[in-house]
């Protein structure tokens, strides 16, 4: 895709296939405020990253970056991608990474 972060999306898909979407989520108490909280690990330390539900969208109102082919209404992939971009400073910092790094995070 336009972001060149297929390495992250591949790792994300593998984690979800093995452990389910719930394994990505942080404490649900934050969700009451409208935030989505994702759990990552950097340098072996748990990092909780909160994001709002606003996503960059195209003119046809579809997420510009990650989106599920089979379930167009599923937001977990673009929200997880947004949280991972926040963890790394920006969407641009996700360009051309390594799947092994994403699996470690």
Q: Choose, from 1, 3, 6, 100, the residue flagged as catalytic.
A: 6
Q: Please write down the long-range contacts of 93-100, taking CB distance under 8 Å and 24 or more positions apart.
A: 94/3, 94/4, 94/5, 94/8, 95/3, 95/4, 95/5, 96/4, 96/7, 97/5, 97/7, 97/8, 98/7, 99/7, 99/8, 99/10, 99/11
Q: How many separate helices (H) and strands (E) can be counted in the chain?
A: 3, 2
Known catalytic residue: 57? no
Give me the active site residues, please: 6
């Amino acid at each position: 895709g336009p972001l060149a972060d297929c390495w992250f999306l591949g790792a994300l898909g593998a984690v979800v296939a093995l452990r389910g979407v719930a394994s990505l989520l942080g404490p649900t108490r934050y969700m009451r405020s409208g935030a989505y909280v994702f759990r990552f690990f950097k340098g072996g330390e748990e990092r909780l990253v909160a994001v709002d539900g606003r996503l960059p969208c195209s003119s046809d109102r579809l997420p510009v970056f990650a989106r599920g082919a089979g379930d167009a209404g599923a937001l977990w992939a673009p929200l997880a991608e947004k949280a991972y971009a926040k963890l790394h400073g920006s969407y641009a910092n996700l360009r051309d990474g390594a799947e092994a790094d994403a699996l470690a995070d």
